[in-house]
Structure 1
């Protein structure tokens, strides 16, 4: 099996994807934050790893092997009180802090030479039901695979998150969080009831506060900012509570969405030999047209989400990966009509017909995707990526620019890809852009442009190829997807170091507008309220007003 690119993009013959007391804003929040009986897992002593320790090398590099840190030490924690203490010690000693949840930050925000203390949340990873809030508590170091397995096996519920099993809940949620169920059930943050966050006040005192969805909560603004404002901006989230808005009663199985019992799972490989420039352009424009036409919250097709992995020609195939809620009436017809519309005029009807969909239990499909994407668990990869939210599909000229890059003969990396991800639209678009920090509520789909490799000597070739590809696609708007009639900016969970460089971002639109649009000023005000000393910062963090 050939590799599959970073965030679920198929290629090759793939699927057939201190202070020891926690302080909170209200008595109920304080009880939930300090009651050890709520937590299922053990609280062990914090561990400090210094450069001489054999574990140091493993703990100072994330998923992207390009970014390696040199902190004075790494602090591994398993309780909120330990995080408070670790932050206080760092603040008192004047050391710069970063935090690791799953370690999938694609930019050098966590591991860089300025960071002197890395706080690793991997021991803070419990998932349990909190009867006091009638919500599911997920600690900040939990990874998606554990979250899905625990929520579904114990209570039959889930959150509509992404495909990569090793992504941490912390960064995934705070950036919005999308996956195959999002068009049907919304983004992950649309089910966010509350957060517990360690912050530092103006006097330099670290403390834990709880912020909830309730507009009457004095910390409601912090909840708003945590619902799409990105990680590393305000503090360290030690716990999320998830509960679907409007859920009633007290039974755990009714407090979050129930995933489909079964899904129709389709993986169609189209050989590059069947795609000339015209056919490829038709495929890309068909894709955009379908998602644009089915982006409304009440669209019957919101039960379908798909990915088109357009990997470099050296991979031999492009793939259409699609999932449909098999429990809805006419599910097979929805899938058939979708595939027919996407491939109309491409001349690959026989290839589509020869690869029928499977009916699978939902959790089987989740596991199958994860198991079929080796790059999700490959610890040797270096990478570079860029993103674009789309309100309307790509023009033939833009699709042609993709074709030119993906068929270059002087670059032959099968992991170089453009991935069209149908994880936007649908129920996500039922929420007003100002209701949460996640502002991209009018998109039809989004796109990931990326490449991965192993040899450091190949850095320049891969980074250069991706810059050429992305810059060509967005040539008309200065190299970036400026929000407007067609594009809608960039996804903060795919941070791009080039976005702040005028040599590449010639659009005149600043990075914070591409990520946050009109929500940025409010995020700045919240930053000033909860992190007035700018303790939690990185190269693209929200700035103080």
Structure 2
């Protein structure tokens, strides 16, 4: 009988073969060089690791930040940056179970979207209305107000958040595990819970566990389609008709009590070098009305333009090609969710976002047509440069309670994306394309989607530090207003109360209030 192997060492330093993988995330633009990565496996290990880290003296005064890695999907350098000293990796914390004492389902913060779908649904028949990217970690997804293909039917993930456990650093540098519930008698604890319903991840402490109550039951079956049109078949008028029809459909179908109000769709406006424009759509078919709603939607969008739709040929942004789906197919919800799973290849990326309360204005459509390669950037070749337009609203716009996720009357949500491989000599061109395209789309409001009016700001889970810079944000609204609207002063008070030393900070973290 041989001795059992020793438990793996949870502290990963630069001479460890695991170090290169654990000091980076999904976006290969950002690779950190921390003193160490601490792999933690329980809430108590998080508390102890954080307590040790805050009391250590940095070896390099230029690297002082302590960050948290869940799924590793932060788009900016908030987790993996040049100034990071310690990374706490909570990816091993992925348990999913019912907690009878809390009368809620408990999910550890290191769990990914797919892990939760594939474990919670078989266990309970319920699901979080979260994102389609399988490897996104809940530690960031939930506090930022995560959403997905079920959100028009059931709302945001944070609409079901009942409690959160957070490791917080006190003013004397001691670390405590704090449990905050929605109905706590302590107002400060209720505010800490509220701050995690849209206030962004990594702002107040290290989240270890979430509890959810009254989770929705996803449909047994959905109707899913993925189709595309060839760019070469579009005139400017046809492009305008397609984009307008998409926006008008979701403006006019906002009742989640109807199949049309539950239907979720994603329009993939790629750069012309991709060759195709794509469309994904999914609707609940349990009550029998879904197929008619899908036909109505496709008639409103596809039948209004001359280009003929056909199967998707290749990946578009974060989603792989959904092949053989140009004719809608009925399948179990979990199977359909798996069919859309994807997080892209190992590559670098830049992202921008916007909420729209109205369909695109004519001048915005003109700008998108131009910058997608029809008039400008004609010689730019990148089939993974894309403006992704998600349907939005429905149940999202009928929140059951007050949350820090403030954009609650939008009909569309935009994600500008561009990808390239590490060491690509054309990186400046990729960055220029996305910056110029976004700025042109929102030229009427200083190059950003300002709060109020036809647009309503930006999504914190798609962070964009260009919003800090007057070169790219020519509006009179700060990045904090664009993300948080009127919630920001309240979030600042929570920050002061629970992170008085500003341990958890980055280029767009919640700032302590003045004074």
TM-score by length of 1: 0.86
Aligned to 2:328: 357
Which of 160, 167, 171 is the equivalent residue of 2:136? 167
Matched, 1:78 2:49: no
Change (3 A) 1:451 1:266: same
Aligned to 1:472: 440
Shift of 1:342: 2.0
Alignment partners' CA distance in 2, 1:126 and 1:367: 20
Aligned to 1:52: 15
Aligned to 1:241: 211
Aligned to 2:459: 491
Aligned to 1:450: 417
Matches within 5 A, 1:75-474: 75-94=38-57, 95-214=64-183, 216-218=185-187, 219-244=189-214, 256-296=215-255, 298=257, 300-348=259-307, 351=310, 355-370=326-341, 373=342, 376-379=343-346, 381-407=347-373, 408-422=377-391, 424-431=392-399, 435-456=402-423, 457-474=425-442
Alignment partners' CA distance in 2, 1:126 and 1:378: 27
Q: Confirm or deny: 8 A CA contact 2:259 2:289 kept in the other structure.
A: no
Aligned to 1:13: none
1:349-370 deviations in whole A, cap 9, x for unaligned? 6659x93200001111011111
Shift of 1:135: 1.1
Change (3 A) 1:45 1:134: farther
Q: Confirm or deny: 8 A CA contact 1:166 1:377 kept in the other structure.
A: no
Shift of 1:344: 4.8
1:235-283 deviations in whole A, cap 9, x for unaligned? 0100011112xxxxxxxxxxx2111000000112111122111111111
Shift of 1:298: 4.7
Shift of 1:485: 2.1
SS at match of 2:455: coil
Shift of 1:96: 2.2
Q: Confirm or deny: 8 A CA contact 1:294 1:302 kept in the other structure.
A: yes
Alignment partners' CA distance in 2, 1:410 and 1:198: 50
1:381-411 deviations in whole A, cap 9, x for unaligned? 0000100001001112111211111123211
Aligned length: 484
Alignment partners' CA distance in 2, 1:441 and 1:350: 33
Shift of 1:227: 0.5
Shift of 1:340: 1.3
Q: Which stretch of the first structure deviates more once superposed, 521-530 or 198-207? A: 198-207
Q: Which stretch of the first structure deviates more once superposed, 274-283 or 181-190? A: 274-283
Alignment partners' CA distance in 2, 1:111 and 1:400: 37
| Runs of 5+ consecutive residues of structure 1 not aligned to the other structure | 1-43, 245-255
Shift of 1:152: 1.1
Which of 10, 28, 33 is the equivalent residue of 1:65? 28
Q: Which stretch of the first structure deviates more once superposed, 471-480 or 215-224? A: 215-224
Matched, 1:511 2:470: no
SS at match of 1:137: strand
Structure with larger RCO (C-alpha < 8 A, sep 6+): 1
Q: Which stretch of the first structure deviates more once superposed, 393-402 or 219-228? A: 393-402
SS at match of 1:442: coil
Alignment partners' CA distance in 2, 1:355 and 1:384: 29
Supply the RMSD in Å over aligned alpha carbons. 1.7
Q: Confirm or deny: 8 A CA contact 1:288 1:394 kept in the other structure.
A: yes
Shift of 1:299: 5.2
SS at match of 1:306: strand
